[in-house]
Amino acid sequence: MPDQPALIVNPPGASDQGAAAIGTVASFAALVSAAACCVLPLAFAAVGIGAGGLAGFVPFRWPLIVVAALAVGVGWALFARKRRACAADAACAAAPPTKATAIMLSFATVMIALSALWGFIEQPLMRALGGA
């Protein structure tokens, strides 16, 4: 039998955790840009933090939401693929995805949904905080 080339394997959980982390950061940025115009300045003012510079994020709201959704979608796809591969093969070479990855992807998904629905959430939240 001829020698087979050695396979280069990423550390266990590296690819899906990296995608999950990128998706989480992108979804948080999308949420901040969605809330930057009105609610965040009120909330920051309540704790004594100025927030005038956050208005610069508002034009990037939808591009950030799209990038975040794509990144989290890739993370979920990698998570599912790895989970299926390890479920089908009892001697899975790579470690199955961790619960932390699923939690991070779920958190990122909720943040993306929240930022996409922000237009419907903003008015009731402003009224609750004592704004217009």
Residue 9 domain flag: no
- Where does the pLDDT of residue 6 fall: very low under 50, low under 70, confident under 90, or very high at 90 and above? very low
On whether residue 27 sits in a domain, the answer given is yes
Q: Are 101 and 16 in contact (CB under 8 A)?
A: yes
pLDDT per residue as tens digits for the range 109-127: 998 898 889 888 888 888 8
The boundaries of the domain holding residue 74 are 17-128
* Mean pLDDT value across residues 46-56: 62
Query: For the chain, what is the total number of helices (H) and then of strands (E)?
Result: 5, 0
Contact 12, 92 (CB under 8 A): no
- pTM for the full model? 0.57
Residue 8 covered by a domain: no
Give a yes or no: residue 63 inside a domain. Answer: yes
State the Cα–Cα distance between residues 66 and 64, nearest whole angstrom.
5
2 part of a folded domain: no
Residue 106's pLDDT band (cuts 50, 70, 90): very high
d(CA 79, CA 105): 9
Q: What is the pLDDT of residues 76-90, one digit of tens each?
A: 998 888 888 777 766
Q: Report d(CA 96, CA 107) in Å as an integer.
A: 20
Give the Cα separation of 3 and 31 in Å (integer): 52
| Alpha carbon distance 37, 110 (integer Å) | 20
Q: What is the mean pLDDT of residues 15-32?
A: 73
**Total structural domains in the chain?**
1
Half-sphere exposure at residue 90, Cβ-oriented, CA atoms within 13 angstroms: 0
Does 90 reside within a domain?
yes
pLDDT at 69 over 50: yes
81 within domain boundaries: yes
| pLDDT over 70 at 10, yes or no | no
pLDDT of residue 12 exceeding 70:
no
Question: What spatial distance separates the first Cα and last Cα of the chain, rounded to whole Å?
Answer: 77
> Per the domain annotation, does 12 fall within a domain?
no
